[in-house]
Amino acid sequence: MSINITRVPLNGYTNGHHSNGKNGHLNGHHHNGKEAAKPASVESYDPEFEALVEQMLTRLGEDPERDGLKRTPLRVAKAMDFLTSGYEMSLETVVNDALFEAESDELVIVRDIEFYSLCEHHMLPFYGKAHIGYIPNNKIIGLSKLARIVDVFARRLQVQERLTAQVADALMDLLDAQGVAVITEASHFCMMMRGVQKQNSSTISTALRGLLKDDPQLRAEFMALAK
């Protein structure tokens, strides 16, 4: 059984929604006749992608019919569908009304949120942790939703700098927060396995919004607590 998948080109984050660049569809859902995205846990694949993987194996000089590779195209197709499932997610579905009245306006921080993504330049993995802080403005969000929002943007072809900014912009939009700060730390296989082949380097990217950008004292407090 195959499931048709409409992939949404990554044109950045605008007002909390994805823009697909084709149909002008900006309401956070996918233009496939369904309002809600399929859950990331549901395994599906595109048979055409499976055929492309088989062609790739042949071009590499392999025999797709040998025992170890017979089901590899199917496995790769399913794996890539999962690893890029962020294209099929909407923030509205992920957050699922987990916004609550704020009882304070003090800084909220969640550290060490693991994420895995694929570099858009070589389609090799990069992985690491995100640290998120925000200052509520009448609304707070369920803590687990912060991790899910990271996954929405991590599970697609990405660059770390954009990923960091998209998470910050999404939270500012969803919460109308007084301030948001996001730090990501990641290791990139495109630097480790190829090219310069540096195994111990890591990349840090930051995105600061609102008071956490403009107020030096609040910014310093976040940086100290997120360290």
Active-site residue numbers?
119-122, 160, 188, 190
φ and ψ of 126, to 5 deg: -135, 150
Please, is 23 exposed, middle or buried when counting C-beta atoms within 10 Å of its C-beta (0-12, 13-18, 19+)?
exposed
**The total number of residues written for the chain in this structure:** 227
Cα separation, 55 vs 49, in Å, equals: 10
137 touches 173 (CB < 8 A): no
In angstroms, the CA 183 to CA 130 distance is 6
Which tokens is 62 given?
Answer: 């392999």
Residue (of 88, 94, 92, 87) closest to 16 by Cα position? 92
Angle at 94 between CA 106 and CA 31, to 5 degrees: 135
